[in-house]
A = this chain, B = another copy of it.
Amino acid sequence: MFGFLRRPKVRIDIPRLKPRVDTSTYPKVNLAELTPEVLPYLGQAAYVQLAVFEEVSDAIAAAPTVAAKQVLAPAASQALDKHERLVAEIRRRVDTPAEVMAPFTVGIDRYRALVKGSDWYEQLASVYLTAGILDDFFSLLAAGLPGDIGPRCIAILDAETGRRAIVDVLSEAITADPVLGSRLAMWGRRVVGDTLLVARSAIHLTGNPESDEQRIEPVFTEMIAAHTRRMDKLGLTA
């Protein structure tokens, strides 16, 4: 069940240099051959968005002020909207979206527990960083879907995240408390590894490890660069 947590071959080196490239340089075609079938893709992507929604909702419930609750609301709303739109895509194909998502719930729930964090700030940092990676990843993976479903999924996943407020809340707290900043920098390095393992578990490997790795590596390098930019936005060194 947790097979993806036991694949030590994935080397995840987080670059300490500033990224040199823009997200638009993502080698979008490279993952196409590794994209899973449409339904498993949709089921996992939909459940990931539901998990993001639940995590933001939990952060809203735990928020110390009503102002914080209120600025986080759009992040919950947008994740839920993405979930519902992906479920609608499932329903265009089958009537049982819950069954399509079911194979992924245990793995994702376990991952959520790993990256939840020990307080509200770690939780917010996790949501911002991990949802960023996963949106990017499922959007890249969608390029390999057949027909017009790929572009539709990309449009869903690239939509407004509502997570800008998380950056504001965290930057302010980090500026006020350097110790928090150094704790969150470590935390950010930790969650990226767990998240890339989830991403990797969603890839349909061809069975040729060498060519698979050649396809995966540049994409993951760019995903890590995008992660580094998100860390920068928070004022944290990746």
Contact = CB atoms under 8 A, between A and B. Distances in A.
Interface of A: 47, 50, 53-54, 57-58, 60-61, 65-67, 69-70, 73-74, 76-77, 80-81, 83-84, 87, 97-98, 101-102, 105
A50 B63 CA distance: 12
A137 B183 CA distance: 47
In the complex this chain forms, how many copies of it are found?
2
- Interface residue SS majority, chain A: helix
Given A54-B61, A57-B57, A58-B57, A73 B84 contact: yes
B76 A50 contact: no
21 contacts: A47-B66, A50-B60, A50-B66, A53-B60, A54-B60, A54-B61, A57-B58, A57-B60, A66-B98, A66-B101, A70-B87, A70-B97, A73-B80, A73-B83, A73-B84, A73-B87, A74-B84, A76-B76, A76-B80, A77-B81, A80-B80
A28 to B, nearest CB: 30
Contacts of A58: 57, 61
Nearest to A100: B66
B73 A57 contact: no
Given A53-B73, A66-B102, 13 more contacts: A47-B66, A50-B70, A50-B73, A53-B60, A54-B57, A57-B60, A70-B97, A73-B83, A73-B84, A73-B87, A77-B77, A77-B80, A77-B81
A76 B102 contact: no
A60 to B, nearest CB: 6
Nearest to A60: B54
Contacts of A84: 73-74, 77
A47 B65 CA distance: 12
A25 B57 CA distance: 37
Contacts of A97: 70
Contact of A57 (B65, B66, B76, B81): B76
A47 to B, nearest CB: 7
A50 B73 CA distance: 9
